Amino acid sequence: MKPKLRKSWLLLHVISSVGWLGVTIGMLVLALAAFDAPQLYQAMSLLGDLVVLPLALTALVTGVVLSLGTKWGLVKHRWVLVKFVLTVIAVIATTFSLRSGLHEAAGGVVAAGSDVLVACCVSLTLYTFNTVLSVFKPWGRTRWG
């Protein structure tokens, strides 16, 4: 991949990943506040559908493009492979679990509020761990590297 193209993909990847992390922090704050103001779940539901999912998919796609188009490869280094697997898990969980929990909470299902809070905490931990992997690049090469 040529340097300008790589930097463009990298920029899009960083923006979408940081955006995903930032919206998750905002969702965590809203999930805490929603225990006293349940109408906030409606805003969280909109964020989940219109912001979180597109950011998650963009981060996944740009990450795959970068891994395949650079020296890191998708399966050459353990940190890239782990980050990819965790991102796929996060996208699936966001699509099928977090969003449905947000819709239930927005619809007035009281028990869904604690599930949403837990999902936000797990998501934040996962995205933070992925960020650490991107910075420190631990563990060396895989057997395919």
pTM over 0.85: yes
Indicate whether 79 pLDDT > 90: yes
| Domain range list for the chain | 3-136
Predicted local distance difference test score (pLDDT) of residue 81: 97
Topology (CATH) of 3-136: Four Helix Bundle (Hemerythrin (Met), subunit A) (1.20.120)
What are the residues whose beta carbons fall under 8 Å from the beta carbon of 58, sequence distance 6 or more? 12, 16
pLDDT band at 35 (very low <50, low <70, confident <90, very high): very high
What are the residues whose beta carbons fall under 8 Å from the beta carbon of 42, sequence distance 6 or more? 106
